[in-house]
Amino acid sequence: MDFRTEVRAWLADRLTDTPTPHPRAWERELGRAGWIGIGWPGADGETYGNRRATLAEQVVWAEEYTRSTAPARMGHIGENLLAPTLILYGTEEQKRRHLPPVARGETLWCQGYSEPGAGSDLAGIRTTATPDGAGGYAVTGQKIWTSLARDADFCFVLARTDPGSTRHHGLSFLLLDMDQPGRIEVRPIRQLTGTSEFNEVFFDGARATETVGGEGDGWRVAMGLLALERGVSTLAQQIGFAEELARVVAAAVASGAAGDPVIRARLVRQWAELDTMRRHALRTLGTTGDPGAPSVAKLLWGGWHRRLGELAVEVAGEAGAVGPEPWTADRPYETDPAQHLFLFSRADTIYGGSDEIQRNIIAERVLGLPKEPR
């Protein structure tokens, strides 16, 4: 049995005629079956994950998972962001402590990067971490737009450990336990869609016991993590985009909007741009050392997805302005899939580094243009 057939068979067996499992239970199920952390290298020929896999097999797993009706993952931040970062920058002790529980689906992580008032300027960190006298740090400050913070067991936080530093100097990449009553408060953020995937997190002397990469080297580690964020998961993301585009095309055909030559041309353009993005992702997969590649990828998919959301409600016509259920004062409004796509994708060109930030990175680090005055 080849790898793709094995993946499809396992997903079909777990997802056919069975109730949707609880997200945490599903993570543990994935871990028991060896599907978390595939391809993670290890010391002395071992692996910190569950099974060996080539880069191509990792892509196959990500794509087939997205094509299936499998639940949305809760462990992707630990698996796709923290784990590769520890493999590159962590100590052997940190890898052995944190990676196996992630691979077993037992621990969930969140990412403490963005802060209020800093926008997409990651170097504008005001959260501080001071030595607590017991070998750790006391973290004080606020993070925002923190995905899965309500459910996470741990958080990796970028904080300022040198009180006299500015910009990207004097930052450290810290690991902390989220179960610290009275020291950590998580508040959900209600969005345009009516959902609350993101949160703001307040740290009031929260204890961080570990530093990745050493004190003051947080910027290098953080930048390495952002580059990892645009890896194999990008190809899986594009499978999801293709399914969304297919639904928009079907809606255009059903409503007759596809008969409009302007709409038809925009649909074709979305398809062509998505195909180009996939080819670009495949061409750059596994490459390192290109400072502009992550920014180019973010610019491509962020703008594409936002335009797809705009097209989805335009194809729906007048129905695109009406919710699926009546909205009353005591009942939150609901959205249909096209409306949800339109509203949520408004943020695609902002989160993860806005388009303006990505263009600055390309201009300064690739084209060698003068830096923006600050």
Q: Which amino acid is at 249?
A: V
Contacts of 212 (CB under 8 A, 6+ apart): 85, 86, 89, 90, 94, 156, 173, 174, 175, 221
What distance separates the 2 farthest-apart alpha carbons in the chain?
70
Phi-psi region of 215 (alpha: psi -120 to 50; beta: other; left: phi over 0): beta
3-state secondary structure 205-270: EEEEEEEECCCCCHHHHHHHHHHHCCCHHHHHHHHHHHHHHHHHHHHHHHHCHHHCHHHHHHHHHH
Q: Which amino acid is at 172?
A: S
Cα→Cα distances 362→91, 114, 333, 365, Å: 32, 21, 40, 6
Give burial (CB, 10 Å; 0-12/13-18/19+) of 6: middle
| Inter-helix orientation angle 337-344/232-255, to 10° | 130
Q: Which of 229, 244, 273, 314 is catalytic?
A: 229
Q: Is 243 a catalytic residue?
A: no
- The C-alpha atoms of residue 311 and residue 324 are separated, in whole angstroms, by 19
Contacts of 304 (CB under 8 A, 6+ apart): 241, 270, 273, 274, 277
Task: Say how many CA atoms lie within 13 Å of 87 toward its Cβ.
Answer: 22
DSSP-derived secondary structure for 116-160: TTTTT-TT----EEEE-SSSSEEEEEEE-S-TTTTT-SEEEEEEE
Contact present, 260 and 315 (Cβ < 8 Å):
no
- Catalytic residue positions, numbered: 229
